[in-house]
C-alpha cells in the first residue's frame, strides 16, 4: 500500500487546458486510427489500403521527376473522394494532432519549462529542440518552448542513438537522443533520456504542446539501437519514489470545467492522493486493482464484459488498455451498437465515420454504460457520452468503434469517470469510481 506523504513532499502535477484546442469527433477518431494502425470496420470516408507513390528527384528545368520509381505502400490510411471514390492520403487538417491538456515539465540546468502531452499509450519522451531546421524554429519560436541542449550544463549526448515515431497517415517525428535532468512535479529524474526532435512533419507542427511524455512500458520506446527507460522506470530505479509506491495516478477533469485552465485535472507520482480518496469517501484499500499484461507496452488488462442499462454483454477473452493519449473510448462494434440502440434518435453517420446522438438528449434518456476492469464494472459518466458538436442538432458520441483493433482503448471518455492508479511496481491497474456529479468538483491537494 502506498505510504503517507505530506503535500510539501509530494505535489500534484497539474494539467492545463489547451485553450486553442477545439474538439472534433471525426478528427479525434482519425487520430486513434493513425496511432494504433486501426482499419475501420464501419463504413466511412477513411479506410486503409495500398497507395502507389512516385519517388525521384524533381527537375526544375523539365518539371518532372527524374529517375522516378513507383513504390506501393501497404496499409496506408486513406480518405475517399466522394465524387470518384478514389483514395488519397488523409489531409493533415482531418486528423487531430493537438492535445486537449498539457503538463508542465522542467528539463536541464538551468531548468527549461516545457508543456508536454502525457500519454500512457506510448513510451517516448520527445521535445521540440534546437536541432530542428532554422526555418521551423523561427516560425514557431513564439508558439513553443524549444529545448536548447547547449544551454544545459547537465545535458549529455547519447552518440549513435536515434528515435522515430511515424503513423499510418504519413506523419512523423525523429531525431537524436541525449540525457538530462527532468523535473516532474516534486520528482527530479537524473540522466533521463530526452529525445530531441530534428524533424517534425507538418502534422506534428500543428500541436500546441512542446512534445510528449510517454507513460507506457519501456518496451515500446522507439530509440535505437536500444530502447531507453521511461521517466517512471527511472523514478523507480533511482528510488525517486518510495518502494511500495512505484505508481502514478491520474485525475482527469470534466468538460464542465472547460473554462478553467488549472486545478481540475492532475497527475501524481509516487503516491495516491489522500484528499482525492477522501472526496470519494473511500480508503486506499477500496481501490479496485487488476493485473496488467505489459508485454505489448500498454496498460492492458482483462475486460470481459460490459453492461448497458443493466443488460450484460459477455466479451470472452477481451482485453482493454487505459490510454490518456486517446480522447475517445473505442470498444467492439457489439458494445457500440448496444450503447446507441439505447439512445433515442442516435444513429451511425457515414460522413462523420461515427455514432451521433441528438444534442438535446435529456440526461435521463442516456444509458448507464459500464465496462469491466478485471472483475469490477465501472461506469462511464453520461456527460462523456456526448463528445463534440456534429452539426444539425447532433453530437459526436464519446464511445466509438475500435475497428480491427483486437482490444478496447479506454481513453479520456472512460478515465474521466474514475480516479486511475497505474501501479508499475506491482504491474496492476487500479480505479475508484467517481460519481457523476463530481465530474467538475475540485478537491484540495493531499497525499496518501
Instruction: Measure the CA dihedral 363/355/377/215, to 10°.
Output: -110
Of the residues 210, 240, 273, 323, which is catalytic? 323
| Continuous segment of H or E residues that includes residue 188 | strand 187-200
How far apart (Å, rounded) are the C-alpha atoms in residues 317 and 303?
8
> Which candidate in 117, 119, 210, 412 is catalytic?
119
Residue 64 and residue 66: Cα distance in Å, rounded? 6
The answer to whether 257 is a known catalytic residue is no
Q: Do residues 387 and 328 make contact, with C-beta atoms less than 8 angstroms apart?
A: yes
Respond yes or no: is residue 408 known to be catalytic: no
What angle (nearest 5°) sits at the alpha carbon of residue 191, between those of residues 212 and 164?
A: 40
C-alpha cell at 224: 535505437
Distance CA 382, CA 366 (A): 6
* Cβ 320 vs Cβ 410: under 8 Å: yes
Q: Are 18 and 151 in contact (CB under 8 A)?
A: no
The alpha-helical segments, DSSP class H, found in 146-300 are 202-205, 231-237, 274-279
Q: Which residues contact 251 (CB under 8 A, 6 or more apart)?
A: 265, 266, 267, 273, 276, 419, 420
**Three-state secondary structure call for residue 284:** helix
**Residues designated as active site:** 119, 323
Amino acid at each position: 500500500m502506498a505510504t503517507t506523504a505530506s503535500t510539501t513532499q509530494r505535489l500534484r502535477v497539474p494539467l492545463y487546458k489547451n485553450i486553442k484546442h477545439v474538439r472534433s469527433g471525426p478528427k479525434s477518431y482519425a487520430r486513434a486510427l493513425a496511432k494504433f494502425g486501426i482499419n475501420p470496420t464501419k463504413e466511412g470516408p477513411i479506410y486503409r489500403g495500398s497507395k502507389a507513390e512516385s519517388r525521384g528527384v524533381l527537375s526544375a528545368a523539365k518539371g518532372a521527376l527524374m529517375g522516378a520509381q513507383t513504390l506501393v505502400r501497404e496499409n496506408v490510411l486513406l480518405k475517399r473522394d466522394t465524387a470518384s471514390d478514389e483514395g488519397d492520403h488523409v489531409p493533415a487538417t482531418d486528423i487531430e494532432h493537438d492535445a486537449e491538456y498539457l503538463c508542465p515539465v522542467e528539463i536541464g540546468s538551468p531548468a527549461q519549462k516545457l508543456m508536454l502531452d502525457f500519454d500512457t499509450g506510448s513510451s517516448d519522451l520527445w521535445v521540440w529542440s534546437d536541432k530542428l531546421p532554422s526555418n521551423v524554429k523561427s516560425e514557431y519560436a513564439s508558439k513553443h518552448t524549444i529545448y536548447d541542449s547547449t544551454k544545459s550544463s547537465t545535458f549529455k549526448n547519447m552518440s549513435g542513438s536515434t528515435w522515430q515515431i511515424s503513423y499510418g497517415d504519413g506523419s512523423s517525428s525523429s531525431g537524436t537522443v541525449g540525457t538530462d535532468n527532468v523535473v516532474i512535479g516534486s520528482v527530479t529524474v537524473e540522466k533521463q533520456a530526452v529525445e530531441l526532435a530534428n524533424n517534425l512533419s507538418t502534422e506534428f507542427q500543428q500541436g500546441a504542446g512542446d512534445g510528449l511524455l510517454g507513460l507506457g512500458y519501456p518496451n515500446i520506446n522507439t530509440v535505437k539501437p536500444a530502447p531507453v527507460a521511461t521517466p517512471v522506470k527511472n523514478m523507480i530505479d533511482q528510488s525517486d519514489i518510495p518502494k511500495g509506491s512505484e505508481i502514478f495516478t491520474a485525475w482527469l477533469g470534466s468538460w464542465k470545467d472547460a473554462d478553467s485552465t488549472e486545478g481540475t485535472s492532475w497527475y501524481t507520482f509516487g503516491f495516491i492522493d489522500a484528499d482525492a480518496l477522501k472526496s470519494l469517501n473511500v480508503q486506499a484499500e477500496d481501490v479496485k486493482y487488476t493485473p496488467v499484461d505489459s508485454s505489448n507496452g500498454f496498460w492492458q488488462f482483462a475486460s470481459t464484459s460490459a453492461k448497458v442499462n443493466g443488460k450484460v454483454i459477455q466479451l470472452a477473452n477481451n482485453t482493454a488498455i487505459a490510454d490518456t493519449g486517446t480522447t475517445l473510448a473505442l470498444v467492439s462494434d457489439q458494445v457500440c451498437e448496444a450503447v446507441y440502440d439505447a439512445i433515442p434518435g442516435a444513429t451511425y453517420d457515414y460522413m462523420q465515420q461515427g455514432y451521433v446522438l441528438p444534442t438535446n438528449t435529456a440526461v435521463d434518456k442516456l444509458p448507464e454504460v459500464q465496462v469491466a476492469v478485471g472483475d469490477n464494472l465501472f461506469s462511464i459518466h453520461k456527460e462523456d457520452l456526448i463528445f463534440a458538436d456534429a452539426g444539425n442538432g447532433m453530437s459526436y458520441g464519446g464511445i466509438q468503434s475500435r475497428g480491427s483493433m483486437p482490444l478496447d482503448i479506454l481513453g479520456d471518455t472512460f478515465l474521466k469517470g474514475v480516479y486511475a492508479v497505474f501501479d508499475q511496481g506491482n504491474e496492476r491497474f487500479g480505479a475508484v469510481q467517481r460519481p457523476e456529479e463530481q465530474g467538475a468538483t475540485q478537491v484540495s491537494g493531499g497525499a496518501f
